[in-house]
Every structure is written in structure tokens, then in C-alpha cells.
Amino acid sequence: MAIGFIGLGNLGKAITQRLTEMGEEVIVYNRNKDKIKDLPYTIASSPKALIEECETVFMCLFDSLAVNEILSMENGILSANLKSKTIIDLTTNHYETVLNFHYAVNDKGGDYLESPVFGSVAPALQGLVTIVTAGKEEVFNACKPLLEKIGKEIFFLKEPSSASKMKLINNLCLGSFMATIAECTALGEACNIDKAKLLEILGVGGGQSLVLKAKTQKLIDEDFSAHFSNDAINKDLHCLQDLAYSLKRPLYTAAVPKELFSKMKMDGKGEEDFSSVYQLFK
């Protein structure tokens, strides 16, 4: 049976391409129809029509507001009979709002797996992303073979919202690493060190990381076409602050990266790749 997929942004397109290459038939829905009219997939007329045709539907959307719209809109997912249906939500959701999605889908007889993706376009195309899932364990076990077609590392955390919290914590590392690498790059250039050589040395020294490996060429070429946008990391770091506030805990190292990416968004660079924060330091 075909797999449904909702949300064909940068990451969503990469994952649907991967699913197709792994032999899955994919039917898609996107709120902006113009963005998918040239893609080689059958296009459903609505989320309801999509889930009526597919037993399993992925969602890969920008935020919880978008997920709520897909669920609750006219002819949305919740307007369908969800018995024996599974929603695998790859979105990075707000850790509180995602609980509502669990309840809403489960109350309609369906199953909801909160499954945020760790990784961006390049690893997604190769099936190398990490996926952390929360929900019913038996549903996770049934879906794991499908998840393994798009992810290399798959983790299960039973408690609803724990996967979303883990994704936000991970993105504190991501945003902090990127900001530090960007500042190091600009500082090295100010010292008249060749940028490519500087990044090569950082890559075997203190800067060695998945972030540097993924973004070295973007920094050299100053090609900031989005794999993971400033808007997205900014949103995630704001959600992380909400999480820390709810726990009555300070966040020391998260504050500066959040404001750096807020500045990029304010400067009209929200849709650029988050490696473009380098421009602030340069």
C-alpha cells in the first residue's frame, strides 16, 4: 500500500525521494500546491483524502501550528475515520502542543508517533538521519522497518513529548556549534588564514563535529541555500527556552545562539541555511 506524505519543504522532499528510492509508492499533500506540481508523485486533494487512501501518513511540517492546521482544517486528518491508521509526525513540535496531537489522533481511533528527525537534507537523501520516536511501543515496533528506510539511528522514548524535548536539547548543541564554528571562521580570516585551510585544521582539531563536516563547503563557497534554515533553528531555540522556563532552570549557553539566529531572521535571512550566521561575524 502507498505511503502518504504531508509537507514537501526541503527536508520533506529529501525524505520522499529517499522513500521512493527504497521502493515505496508515495502519495503527497502540501498546503502550497505550486511547490509540488512538478514533483513525480500522485497528489491528494486533502489530508482527509490522503489518509483514506493510505494506512500510514508521514507529516514533515515547519511547526506545531502547521501540524494543528493539517489535523483540524476542513477535510483535515481528524475529519477522517482513523481506525487502523498511523500518523508518523517528523515535525519538530513544541513539547507541550505535541501532547494534544497524541490525544487527538488516539481519540479518533488512530495511532500517533511523535518522531522528530535529527539531520537535514544531505543525510536524509542517503537515509542517514537519526529519528527519535515517542508513542505506543507496539506501534513503534510495527513502523520501525519503515523508519529504517529513512534513518540510520532509530531511538524509542515511550513517554509522549519526550522525543520533542530530546530534539530541542539536541538543537541546542546544533545551534551552539554552528555559531562557534562561524565565529572561528571569521576570526581566522581576520588573521589572514585561508578559509579552506582554516576549516580543514578545525576539522581535525577542536572544531571536529558533524556540524563542521556538514557545513564546511557551505562556508567556503558562501552558498547559503537552505538545508536547515535560520527560521527553523530560531524557532527550536525559542521552544527550548519555554522548556527550560517550565522546569525553572536557567539556560546559560542557549541564550546567545538564540539571539544570533533571531538577528538573522530580523535581517531578512530567515530562509537561508543556518550556516549563514557566519555573515554576522564576518
Taking only the tens place, the pLDDT of each residue in 44-103 is 999 999 999 999 999 999 999 999 999 999 999 999 999 999 999 999 999 999 999 999
Cell of 61: 511540517
Say how far residue 270 (Cα) sits from the centre of its chain. Answer: 15
Is the confidence at residue 1, as pLDDT, over 90?
A: no
Catalytic residues: 167
Taking only the tens place, the pLDDT of each residue in 235-261 is 999 999 999 999 999 999 999 999 999
- Whether residue 233 contacts residue 174, with contact meaning beta carbons closer than 8 Å, is answered with yes
H or E element in which residue 228 lies: none
How many other C-beta atoms can be found within 10 angstroms of the C-beta atom of residue 28? Answer: 23
Average pLDDT over residues 198-227: 96
Q: What is the structure's pLDDT at 69? A: 97
Mean pLDDT of the chain: 96
| Helix pair 162-190, 210-221: axis angle to 10 deg | 50
Cell of 185: 571562521
Query: Which domains are present in the chain?
Result: 3-159 (3.40.50.720), 164-281 (1.10.1040.10)
Q: What is the structure's pLDDT at 234? A: 97
Cell of 209: 563535529
Q: What is the structure's pLDDT at 35? A: 84
Taking only the tens place, the pLDDT of each residue in 191-206 is 999 999 999 999 999 9
Whole-angstrom distance, CA of residue 24 vs CA of residue 1: 8
Taking only the tens place, the pLDDT of each residue in 30-43 is 998 888 888 899 99
